[in-house]
A and B are shown apart, each in its own frame.
Chain A
């Protein structure tokens, strides 16, 4: 059961430890560094020791933030649940003994894997917390809650980093890694190929929802490859194509004209790989554009209802459905030094520009 305030609980020492670790300096890693750090047993030990020190710092920071949110967000039940997850994970890490040999390391890896699973539903749970806040204070408009937006951006960006570190460490233990892969990173990822797969997935979803789906034409060099995390790129392209397909369907649903295809261009430069996703779905008014990057504006349904004590992991595993896709896609893009920009022509269509760093030497952002 969620406790209300840390000081109410028995463990005052824990509160002090959280405070202590929350003020330590975080250490960022770049994609390049992660990639060059392979899975030899010596490296696994080093990696485990790094993660053992680094994770509590990042997690403690989040606990402190969760306790200090404005407008009473911290006391919403769903937010308290998230805070408790972070606290439990902090405790698990801090109570784990020094990692001295391969056995320690394997047990540690099991433990951080469990932590990652524990946090699987953080996004919908926080979304529920925000919803609870809105219910409590209906007079607030998304515009007024800039602080909350900024907090959520930092919070989710940090989560991406934590899950990347854990996931990468765990994946390095795979005895049969796929060719050219180092953990989550594909050293020769073809953005064209990932874009194709993600588009097909988005089209399938559109087909299920509308009975038809616009064509997607993809242009680019099939031989262009660079090191990146395919699951991240897949997620972002899927989200953007999904939105484009929906816009086009809604626009041409009652029309005799053929729905114009969505166009994707994959370009390789010296600094960046850029993926543009263009649709003719009617566009978004200039005044409405800032909203699409907000968390609080979401009108979509949340898979978790009020009774969150019975959370089926299956119901909460996708983010589709509560409108967090675009802001979170942008965080994924920025995590490795890229960006996501969306421009629109009201009455015509929308263009999304996904910039990904080609060199991978950008250090993780550490909010």
Chain B
């Protein structure tokens, strides 16, 4: 602004104008005016563009101020020469306005500038804040990365159950995540006194370094579950010769707890007192001037924990696999043992069966022939001898049966043959068998059956007979004089029990009853000590052995087993030597549903149903000296279901025949063709029938039917 304002007196200047000076002033004023006009325009333009500027009013003021100044200068251009009064007025107005505005602006600035300054400070503050946030973001991101690394590491480590893979993977992943120079794992040796370098990251074949475990630095690391910075010079960190001039990077070590199954206890985890630890050593690159950051240390600690868990899992898995293998081995061994045992039992049974058959055949011969011999004329000495032979033979036969029975009873392969039978008749038969023997010894035998004893019962008749015979037989054997009394009745719950077997409690039901039999004798009695031994096989006490018992000691043992199979109990009571004894047994028998007397003879023969078409299991003996005929007849009978034995001569026939053979076919060669005569002769000799060859299947069938039905063959054929 031009300070030198010339007065507008319209007085001619005192000196003739310096034209040059005037010209310069003229030009300068013009340019000033231009500038003064363009500045606000620029301001307006930029403000319009920015649209954020909060001080519009200020700008307007400034604008006005500048415009007015410009206007003043512009108007000044006219005042250089002669100018009219209007111009002077305009000039004055402009100047006045300018003065006003500028003063106003000056006053406004007093308020505005502090504001503007505070804006600046706020701006600086925000910038700082933004920088801080940036830093924090960076940190968070780093942490998140770390977390991701940990997860990935954990996943890698836990994805395998193989211990070596776990450890190797740990080192590899840690090395990668943290960009380590070297990573090493030291495992405790078996003795626990040293640490051995087991795995490294970069070294391909780690030398078998060991370090004593009691080093202070190691103790320091082991005593805490945090990762500890250790010196690069300590033994565990000196894995490779120093590269020389470079500063080795910082080293961190952390403990890894190792779980061994023997000291694993669920309540102790994770604070176990005598734990084994491995040491993980991590080295930063040697020339990087990197430092261990907090989050990296955390990562290392987390990883160490995960590794411990993974290793424990691996250990448990190993253990369970081992246990399973052991079990499998044991199973195999057990299976083998079982099969061997089964084979042994089978072999024994086969042996027994064969021996049984082999022994029975000559036994039969001896018994049969001795009986026959008895019927002939003999001198008294001869008779005595024959009787002895017979008796011995019978005893031997019984012994053979007993041994076979007992062995079958013992290995559980014995089955009772359950049938409906006549109980009363059984006792009658018993009496018939015993009476003759007893009367020889001049003993009286008394049988009393309870009136409510059912006539028919369901059970194993043969074995029941065996039991009773054995018990009664013993009574007879050991009684020199006096009587034997046999009582049979239904067991009631109030009856006296064996004091030695209180747990035996028979409970009758609708389908079963318990038969109780007492056999009392007035014989020599038994001492209380001997009573338990009675039922033990082969055990004979002195008092028993002095008698010529002639028993093998098996009889009562077998009885006991049969009684047990019949869900019963057997015991002997005696008051002592010379006071006789009472044998008592209880057996469970079934109650038959319907009983048809005609259908149930005491000793059932082959079922007598008329007109059978098949004869399953019927034992037949065929004697024929012609091979072809033998084969044909045998096949015929086999076709009808029979069990056929063939012999080719009369001698052989005698040898083989036994009471098991129900039918015997004998081929007869007679001279001449007179069939009728032959038939008559045969029948007279005692044959049950004659049939002529060749025989058809139908013919054979009807013959067998008739034979079994009527015991004789009718028919003209």
* Binding partners A and B: no
Binding site for B on A (CB under 8 A): none
Which of B's residues lie within 8 Å of A, judged by CB?
none
